[in-house]
Structure 1
Amino acid sequence: MLRTVPRRLLCGRGTSQAPFSARAWYQMLLKEGGSRKPSADSSGKFNILGPVGSLGRQDLVKLLEASVVHRDGVLVAITKPPGLPVIGKPGDVTLVSLLPDLSQKLGFSQDVQVIKAPGKESSGLVLLSDCPSTVQHFQEFYVRCRKRRHPAATYCAVTTRLPADSEGEIYTGLKLIYREDSELVVPVASPSRGSLQRKEVKNTLTRYKVLDSQDNCALVQLQPLTAFPYQLLVHLTLILSPVLGDHVYSSRVGTVLGEPFLLPAESTPPRTQVLDEALLRRLHLQQPHVHRLPLHLHLHQLLLPAASSSSSVLTAPLPPYFLQTLCLLGLSLPTKQTTQRHSKHLP
């Protein structure tokens, strides 16, 4: 069953400082096939499209080395660019495959391990440590957070439609299916007890809040209270507000005379996101170039266990392409945007 109900989100204080240059981070990301110049549109201004070609291993290591947002003893936090998977097949360029080189660059005596990271197409915070006991302590903390429905991660997303409610919860079953050698996530409105017990379906829950909106687009805060692949993307399609740059699940939201409706998930194949003409004009894009539009879903803040760091909440600044999109759409983060802080109720 899909449930979306209004809910007031609690906010608190506590953010870390980001010492690296976001502009340098994105300019490096936008190198085209080894070119030293970032991509630009016909007006000569930097656009929001991703690079045509992939960065090489050494460029990616340099990019990650420059993206440190926090370091405190054995704990280090970096911000990941969109499109870099955390794990993959042998021989694939992934975050994990780059960790030995990155560990050396950061001066660790042994390879760091991933504690927490966003999915492949998302950008945002990655927690790393070279201390196995620290890795275990943090991972157990995040498991306890999920069990107690305690939000530990806060994402920011740009959506191509404004949710009907300004804040609420999205609750539904999700399952993985396989179509043409690809893995897709589909909602299950009323999962049977057996499917849940066999773990074929998992009940999932996300809190959301609209932070700003303009002309039917929105900047949305998301707090997943469960963990499932692509949970946030699928949940946002269920409230007819797909994420900008979602080239897999946004096709499930159709329109008739400008009004959105939900298409059957299992029979709707992935495709490049189709944006309406008004939105394309605001973004200075043409539809044939939309396939290069990066996913506008960013792991913005993470809660830390008590006494594990000098900060209780870590923050990764929004990438420049994300900020440029906000500017083009007339959206902005609240001045004191922070995530929940539960220092008195940490699991």
Structure 2
Amino acid sequence: MSGCRGLGHVWGGWRRGPGVRAAREAAGFGTEAGHQLRRRGSRKRSGPLGDQPFPGLLQLENLSREGLVDVLRAAVVDQKGKPGELTLFSVLPELSQSLGLRDRELQVVQASGKETSGLVLLSSCPQTASRLQKFFIHSRRAQRPTATYCAVTDGIPASSEGNIQVALKLEHIDGIDLVIPVKSPSRKDLQEGVKRTLSHFHVVARGSGCALVQLQPLTVFPSQLQVHLVLQLCPVLGDHTYSARVGTVLGQRFLLPAESTKPQRQVLDEALLRHLHLTPAQAAQLPLHLHLHCLHLPGMRPREAPMKLLAPLPPYFSRTLQCLGLHQQ
């Protein structure tokens, strides 16, 4: 699989549009630079937060174009083959040069959502990129998961494991693109952009009214995992877009109408804030705790064994797990 690179860099807000919202701890399996970055990040311990509530976050104002290229280069978790505005796409030419690819252009093959941390898969070989894209398409058609996410949820799913199936559509509401569930979609709905979506979930750990959940999407739709967890009445911690759809009365949670519920900063109860050592103002800036942890890929050659890329959790995510007593098994 010549020309393929996996970035274990922990992203927040990479996008085609203006600006990278935040770049988080680089983690490079198989690269000395990555090991050095992990060792440097591991010196920070969990505790009272003070002025830096989310360790590992790099603010955009502190990141130069050259700095972003350095962080991306150090974050390569696997490398096969020869070695305007501040966005991931805008610095791909510099990253290509930095990796010694000369005139070979990098393109994004697979990545998580714009606020989600974790792996970004790049390729400098058009044939490899095409092969991987076909692999992902065929895997989805066969309902074979290729990506595994980790999420911390505000609330605990009623079942320890199961599938979430719902039809979703994208609507432009008050100037914002929002994902809306659709009950019993008609054939016309499906022709006009409504898509049936499916995710598998498994609760790994529970504690302090929260859960560590493993998620495997079997379809692709914007914000699919966030909306699926909201429908389980357990929004992702740091979800400042869809968590407002979960209301509470006398300790009982219920769903508010998606079409008429505007996005707002996530509101956490006092007990959870105490566990997290956060003030309400800090909680309003909480990063989305949804992380693309693992990608399953085919072997480099037809008869070779499949390969697996892993990106470790960012520091703020690991700290949250420690504060909540959520331990991976």
Match of 1:48 among 49, 54, 66: 54
Aligned residues, how many? 293
SS at match of 2:206: strand
1:269-288 matches, within 5 Å, as 269-288=262-281
Match of 2:166 among 163, 168, 172: 172
Counterparts in 2 of 1:192 and 1:212: CA distance versus 1, 3 Å: same
Counterpart-to-counterpart distance in 1, 2:187 and 2:151: 33
1:261-276 matches, within 5 Å, as 261-276=254-269
1:65 paired to 2:73: yes
- Indicate if the aligned counterparts of 1:26 and 1:320 stay in contact, CA closer than 8 A: no
Counterpart-to-counterpart distance in 1, 2:200 and 2:231: 13
Which position in structure 1 is the counterpart of 2:175?
181
1:318 paired to 2:319: no
Q: Give the Å deviation of 1:92.
A: 4.1
Counterpart-to-counterpart distance in 2, 1:61 and 1:145: 32
Letter in 2 for 1:320: P
Moved more, 230-239 or 324-333: 324-333
Letter in 1 for 2:311: A
Q: Give the Å deviation of 1:158.
A: 0.5
Q: Give the Å deviation of 1:311.
A: 5.7
Which position in structure 1 is the counterpart of 2:327?
332
Letter in 1 for 2:189: S
Q: Pairwise CA RMSD of aligned residues? A: 2.5
Q: What is the identity percentage for the equivalent residue pairs of Structure 1 and Structure 2?
A: 51
Q: Give the Å deviation of 1:57.
A: 2.1
Moved more, 61-70 or 227-236: 61-70
1:124-135 matches, within 5 Å, as 124-135=118-129
Q: Give the Å deviation of 1:45.
A: 8.5
Consecutive unaligned residues of structure 1, counting only runs of 5 or more, are 1-15, 29-37, 77-90, 335-347
Counterpart-to-counterpart distance in 1, 2:278 and 2:101: 43
Counterparts in 2 of 1:323 and 1:24: CA distance versus 1, 3 Å: same
Letter in 2 for 1:66: A
Moved more, 272-281 or 95-104: 95-104
- Indicate if the aligned counterparts of 1:25 and 1:67 stay in contact, CA closer than 8 A: no
What's the CA shift string for 1:286-343, capped at 9, x where partnerless?
1112232111101000110134577611111111111111111111222xxxxxxxxx
SS at match of 2:72: helix
- Indicate if the aligned counterparts of 2:298 and 2:306 stay in contact, CA closer than 8 A: no
SS at match of 1:303: strand
Q: Give the Å deviation of 1:24.
A: 3.5
Match of 1:140 among 134, 140, 150: 134
1:232 paired to 2:225: yes
Counterparts in 2 of 1:172 and 1:273: CA distance versus 1, 3 Å: same
Match of 1:108 among 94, 101, 117: 101
Counterpart-to-counterpart distance in 1, 2:35 and 2:321: 15
Counterpart-to-counterpart distance in 2, 1:68 and 1:169: 32
What's the CA shift string for 1:130-175, capped at 9, x where partnerless?
1100000000100111111110100000101100000000000000
Counterpart-to-counterpart distance in 2, 1:22 and 1:250: 35
SS at match of 1:292: coil
Q: Give the Å deviation of 1:189.
A: 1.6
Counterparts in 2 of 1:272 and 1:27: CA distance versus 1, 3 Å: farther
- Indicate if the aligned counterparts of 1:48 and 1:325 stay in contact, CA closer than 8 A: no
Consecutive unaligned residues of structure 2, counting only runs of 5 or more, are 1-27
Counterparts in 2 of 1:222 and 1:22: CA distance versus 1, 3 Å: farther
Q: Give the Å deviation of 1:181.
A: 1.7
SS at match of 2:77: strand
Counterparts in 2 of 1:235 and 1:130: CA distance versus 1, 3 Å: same
Counterpart-to-counterpart distance in 2, 1:67 and 1:310: 24
Q: Give the Å deviation of 1:58.
A: 2.2
Counterparts in 2 of 1:27 and 1:95: CA distance versus 1, 3 Å: farther
Q: Give the Å deviation of 1:65.
A: 1.5
SS at match of 2:202: strand
Counterparts in 2 of 1:18 and 1:317: CA distance versus 1, 3 Å: farther
Structure 1 stretches of 4+ with a deviation exceeding 6 A read 25-28
Which position in structure 2 is the counterpart of 1:5?
none
1:201 paired to 2:194: yes
Q: Give the Å deviation of 1:51.
A: 5.2
Q: Give the Å deviation of 1:105.
A: 1.3
- Indicate if the aligned counterparts of 2:162 and 2:200 stay in contact, CA closer than 8 A: yes
Counterpart-to-counterpart distance in 2, 1:292 and 1:145: 36
Counterpart-to-counterpart distance in 1, 2:184 and 2:297: 34
TM-score of the aligned structures, taking structure 1 as reference length: 0.78
Letter in 1 for 2:156: L
